[in-house]
Amino acid sequence: MVIYFTGTGNSRYAAEKIAEITGDTLLDSSDYTKSGKGIDLSSEKTIVVVAPVYASAPPEPLLDVLNKSTYSKETSAYFFMTYGSEIGSCDRYYLKFCKENGLTYMGTTGVILPQNYLMFFRMRTEDECRKILGNARDVIDKVGRTVKEGKTFDDKLSNILIYAIVKVIYPFYDKHFMKPDQFYATDECIGCGKCAKVCPLGCINMVDKVPQWSGRCTHCTACINLCPKEAIEYGKHTAGKLRYHGPKSIK
Ligand SMILES: Cc1cc2nc3c(=O)[nH]c(=O)nc-3n(C[C@H](O)[C@H](O)[C@H](O)COP(=O)(O)O)c2cc1C
Ligand code: SF4
Ligand code: SF4
């Protein structure tokens, strides 16, 4: 089974391609990240987890779900990350997760896809996105074939000292900065509800056709990037910045 978590669709795009090659079933983790429940994976021999890198780590809501899920003693796990520039310490997180849950660790690898964190990073132009997506195709195909053949990924483990730093910084960042309190809809909003639909944590409610943010937000940027009217802003960080409408929007 290929399980993915996504904000703006990069990880879904990679997951779909991998599943196409391996012939595996595809599972969107968002029902589980919303409910906070684990997944029954006890009949799966192999799982492939696909997700974006957040602050050099896997998304915390996804890790919560994986830690609550059930596995068989024979389950092998591959991890595939999508990121704007660096995969960070994700491999260390997943290695620990596999050890604690009795899974066979088959490796962590990933690919650069368009940056989506418009609050704090430079967004790529459409031409740049097209080039990035073009370069990524072969990498994703190769990963799909490696999984299908049952081979391990051969990436070297990342630096353990950096992991020690990330382990301190990410929970702090997640708790204090990954909050929805600065999001708001502008007058351009048409009340379509797409932002609420795409939020993988279910933290947007439509009240009188106006989105209201509350609860746990992981800054996935789905709401602000995928709004068809580009009618969402985040404090003063996003005015005039390019939006990334996902890989399918790049022709
Ligand atoms: C909250 C957040 C943190 C991010 N942190 C990193 C990072 O540490 N390193 C990096 O290379 N890209 C980082 N990115 C970029 C995403 O990992 C990248 O754009 C990813 O492909 C988005 O995947 P998605 O479309 O499946 O959500 C971050 C994006 C977000 C929203
Ligand atoms: S997606 Fe955009 S236009 Fe639609 S309800 Fe949300 S903010 Fe308004
Ligand atoms: S509120 Fe927006 S940024 Fe936060 S988790 Fe939901 S879709 Fe992602």
* Residue 91 domain boundaries: 2-170
Q: What is the mean pLDDT of residues 113-137?
A: 97
Domain boundary pick from 150, 170, 190 = 170
What atom of ligand 3 comes closest to residue 199's alpha carbon?
7
One domain, residues 74 and 183: no
Proximal ligand: closest to the CA of 189 = 2
Q: What confidence tier does 176 reach under pLDDT thresholds 50, 70, 90?
A: confident
Beta strand pairing status for 232-234 and 183-185? antiparallel
One domain, residues 88 and 206: no
One domain, residues 209 and 109: no
Tell me the Cα Rg of the chain.
18
**Shortest-distance Cα residue to atom 3 of ligand 2:** 189
Tokens 């079933």, residue located: 25
Total number of domains in the chain: 2
Mean pLDDT taken over the chain: 97
Asked if residue 10 has pLDDT above 90, the reply is: yes
One domain, residues 103 and 165: yes
Distance, in Å, from the CA atom of 121 to the CA atom of 154, rounded to the nearest integer, reads: 30
Ligand 3 binding site (Cβ under 6 Å of any ligand atom): 7, 180, 199, 201, 203-204, 213, 217-223
One domain, residues 142 and 223: no
Asked if residue 251 has pLDDT above 90, the reply is: no
Domain boundary pick from 144, 170, 196 = 170
CATH number of the domain that 73 lies in? 3.40.50.360
* pTM given for the model: 0.97
pLDDT of residue 142: 98
Distance, in Å, from the CA atom of 141 to the CA atom of 136, rounded to the nearest integer, reads: 9
What atom of ligand 1 comes closest to residue 222's alpha carbon?
27
E strand or H helix that includes residue 23: none
pLDDT of residue 160: 96
Percent of the chain with pLDDT over 90: 95
Q: What is the mean pLDDT of residues 35-54?
A: 97
Q: Determine what percent of the chain falls in helix, strand and coil, rounding each to the nearest 5.
A: 35, 20, 45
Q: At what angle do helices 60-68 and 90-101 cross, to 10 degrees?
A: 10
pLDDT of residue 191: 98
207 CA distance to ligand 1 middle (Å): 29
One domain, residues 64 and 153: yes
In the chain, the DSSP E strands lie at 2-4, 26-28, 40-41, 46-52, 70-71, 76-83, 104-112, 183-185, 204-207, 210-213, 232-234
Asked if residue 174 has pLDDT above 90, the reply is: no
Q: What is the mean pLDDT of residues 1-8?
A: 98
CATH number of the domain that 223 lies in? 3.30.70.20
Asked if residue 215 has pLDDT above 90, the reply is: yes
One domain, residues 119 and 140: yes
Q: Among 173, 218, 234, 244, which residue has the most ligand 3 atoms within 8 Å of its CB, making it the best to mutate?
A: 218
Tokens 């005015």, residue located: 239
Give CA torsion, residues 211, 116, 163, 66, to 10 deg.
50
Q: What is the mean pLDDT of residues 4-18?
A: 98
One domain, residues 74 and 184: no
Q: Is 53:79 a contact under the CB 8 Å cutoff?
A: no
Q: What confidence tier does 55 reach under pLDDT thresholds 50, 70, 90?
A: very high
Q: What is the mean pLDDT of residues 36-61?
A: 97
